Amino acid sequence: MMDYKKVKTDTVSVTRNIEDYTGGTGNLYETLAIISKRANQISAEMKEELNQKLSEFATTTDNLEEIFENREQIEIAKYYEHLPKPTLIAIHEYNHEEIYFRKPEPEQKEEII
């Protein structure tokens, strides 16, 4: 898995030039679809990683004493709160040509004579 803390990108949304996102595909909407799919992949990876880390603290019994969060859980939560959002990471990857995508060729329709 990728270490998203090491990605040097914006942590807040910024205004972007639309012209910058039409060059790679020739279509703004295709570019947005590519970025969106990559952001969903990143989000799923981050969620899986977080769930793995939190599963270490899972208990099978419900005691009042165990309901309160411990310091490690709080630190893990803070770490993930400070990570850049998946969409911003995907935009960064697209801008730095780190996303591989391909456009399938349209199927040829046979004409019936």
Query: SS3 of 106, please?
Result: coil
User: Taking the CA atoms of the chain, what radius of gyration do you get in angstroms?
Assistant: 20
Domain boundaries, the chain: 24-95
- Determine the pLDDT at residue 19: 87
- Determine the pLDDT at residue 30: 92
Mean pLDDT by 10 residues, the chain (113 residues): 70 83 87 94 91 76 58 82 88 89 74 66
Residue pair 89/9 in contact (Cβ under 8 Å)? The answer is: yes
- Determine the pLDDT at residue 62: 58
Exposure string (b/e) for 85-112, b if CB count within 10 Å is 16 or more? bbbbbbbbbbeeeebeeeeeeeeeeeee
Distance between CA atoms of residues 30 and 35, nearest Å: 9
